[in-house]
Amino acid sequence: MRLTIADLFEGSSFYDAYQLYNRGAAYILEEGYKRAQENGVGIIDPLPLGDYVRSLPLVSYAAQLVPRFYVFSGTKSNLQNVASYGEVVSDPRAREPHSRVQQATGTETIVNQVGKKAADEKIKIAKNLAGIQGANFNVVFAYAKDLAKNISTHWQDDESFQNNMTYVGAKIIGKCFLGIDHLPREYVKLLRQANDLISGEKADPDQLAQMSEKIIQMSDALLDKNAQEVIAANRYANTQYPLNGDETEEEIKTKLINSHAGAGFIVESNLSFLLMVAIAYISESPEIYEQMMQEINRMPTETLDDTKQLTYMKCIYRETLRIASGTAVVPRVTSVYSEMEVENSEQEKHNCSIYPNSYLFFPVRMIHHNKALWPNPQAFDPTRFSRQIKSNTSGFIDKDFFAFSAGKRGCPAGTGFVEYAFIGFLTEFYKANKLQLDRPIETIPATAIHPRWKEEYYATIETLDRSIIKYG
């Protein structure tokens, strides 16, 4: 057997430095998560004797110039502590991992904020996603169904599966969250490029600046053309500029345009990807398709109330969230010293020193693809969730399931908006259509930071005879 340099230094800081240089983010997640299995946190530190050197009074400043990486194991308490770092510890760099969102869109959003500012924004977002007493869930459900019902008018065969589905996801966000009904297809590619740039491994400042120019142009054009409808809809886009009450119509319109609220379309990516992953796996499995169709044919699917009975569809939803894990990590950055309580798998807790210039990662995707927790994790198997769904115990967070993060900084769309868009679109789509992909989809590694397919896929839609659908 030939020894490599890596073998000689395995387990040491030199090894971390070498592997970090070679494998980057994938090494941090894989090795960090492996180490986290022991005591709840795995530390990747390219600095020799990192803990010791960082605690020395004189050299610590220089030592802290070398970034350190903390990867946490999958417990609810670890997730809450990572997600709320920046809320609990006052740290101006906490939200730095999301700074590209601001750079690429030219707009500060909630992900760039902490404390009261973020909390106030969250209230506006939640209100717009759910509506009063959840009224907007009916709207998103009905709108997603409507898009599916009229899919033939939206689908373009010469466009890729991803482009078509991005259009669907973005239309749902536009209409049901932002209050912007009209979305020319030309913006689909731009939205995809923006998401890849924001979440990709590298992005230089010029690329981000150019992107922000294009996103602002898109927002300006959309808001200018649809100002009256956007103001009348009074949804999230309309909450993005202050009014003192004595503005003329023209002044309100100018304020709306200057808010760049149309940049909010970029949140479509997780939703579009979720829908396309579900459809791709269903189209690859005749068994899953059959079981789903039996339920759709047997049950009414017209109202939000009907969805409570759709247990298999709910399993498909959960399994899609798990396998897609579209937001792969919950990341934070530190610039101050603090101590964080860490929990291991035996629920024992201990304090861990967090040094400045560290990256904290809660590795959602690694957990969702851990074969000890989810046997055969790359297989799409909705029945994994049967027991929870039937006994009605599935929640926003479940055992080893953290798709929407948690606590104060959890995803506001995870409490219903995404689920109703998903179930509305899929049930209606499959009532009248079948979709065939041009080839099997690729597997995305568990360590992917930006889990999206690298290849473009194409799909044909076959319209079925609706008379075969029978309820009851």
Report the interface residues with ligand HEM, using CB under 6 A.
83, 110-111, 118, 122, 125, 129, 173, 177, 267, 270-271, 274, 326-327, 330, 403-405, 409, 411-413, 418
Shorter beta-carbon distance to ligand HEM: residue 177 or 312: 177
Cβ-based nearer residue to ligand HEM, 63 or 267: 267
Cβ at position 328, least distance to ligand HEM in Å:
9
Q: How far is the CB of 366 from ligand HEM (least distance, A)?
A: 13
Residue 134: strand, helix, or coil: helix
If residue 227 lies in a helix (H) or strand (E), which one and from where to where?
helix 227-233
In the complex, what is the shortest distance from the CB of residue 185 to ligand HEM, in angstroms, rounded to a whole number? 20
Q: Which amino acid is at 393?
A: T
d(CA 269, CA 266): 6
Cα distance between residue 421 and residue 145, in whole Å: 8
Closest approach, Cβ 173 to ligand HEM, in A, equals 5
Q: 311 is written with which tokens?
A: 């247990």
| Residue nearer to ligand HEM on the CB measure, 199 or 405 | 405
**Of residues 14 and 453, the one with the C-beta less far from ligand HEM:** 453
CB of 177 to ligand HEM, least distance (A): 4
Nearest to 155 by CA among 467, 425, 443, 466: 425
- Quote the least distance from Cβ 282 to ligand HEM, whole Å: 17
Q: In whole angstroms, how close is the CB of 51 to ligand HEM at the nearest point? A: 26
Find the distance separating the first CA and the last CA of the chain, reported in whole Å: 65
Cα atoms in the Cβ-side hemisphere of radius 13 Å centred on 224: 7
Q: Which helix (H) or strand (E) holds 437?
A: strand 433-437
Q: Which two tokens stand for residue 462?
A: 């076959």
The distance of Cα 379 from the centroid of its chain, to the nearest Å, equals: 20
Residue 34: CB minimum distance to ligand HEM, A: 22
CB-based contact 219:261 (threshold 8 Å) = yes
- For ligand HEM, the closer CB: 117 or 390: 117
- Indicate the residue among 47 and 173 with the shorter CB distance to ligand HEM: 173
Q: Which residue type occupies 285?
A: S
Q: Least Å distance between CB 465 and ligand HEM?
A: 32
d(CA 351, CA 292): 47
Nearer Cβ to ligand HEM, position 63 or 83? 83
Q: Which is nearer to ligand HEM, 161 or 177 (CB)?
A: 177
Rank residues 270 and 427 by Cβ distance to ligand HEM and give the closer one.
270
CA distance linking residue 140 with residue 422, whole number of Å:
9
Q: Give the Cα-Cα-Cα angle 199, 317, 157 (nearest 5 degrees).
A: 70
Render 384-396 in DSSP notation, one character per residue.
Answer: GGHHHHHTT---S
Q: Which is nearer to ligand HEM, 54 or 235 (CB)?
A: 235
Structure tokens at 368: 């969702």
**Cβ contact 311:197 at 8 Å:** no
Instruction: State the CB neighbour count (10 A cutoff) for residue 188.
Output: 26
Q: Which residue is nearest to ligand HEM (CB)?
A: 411
Q: How far is the CB of 4 from ligand HEM (least distance, A)?
A: 36
Alpha carbon distance 465, 395 (integer Å): 36
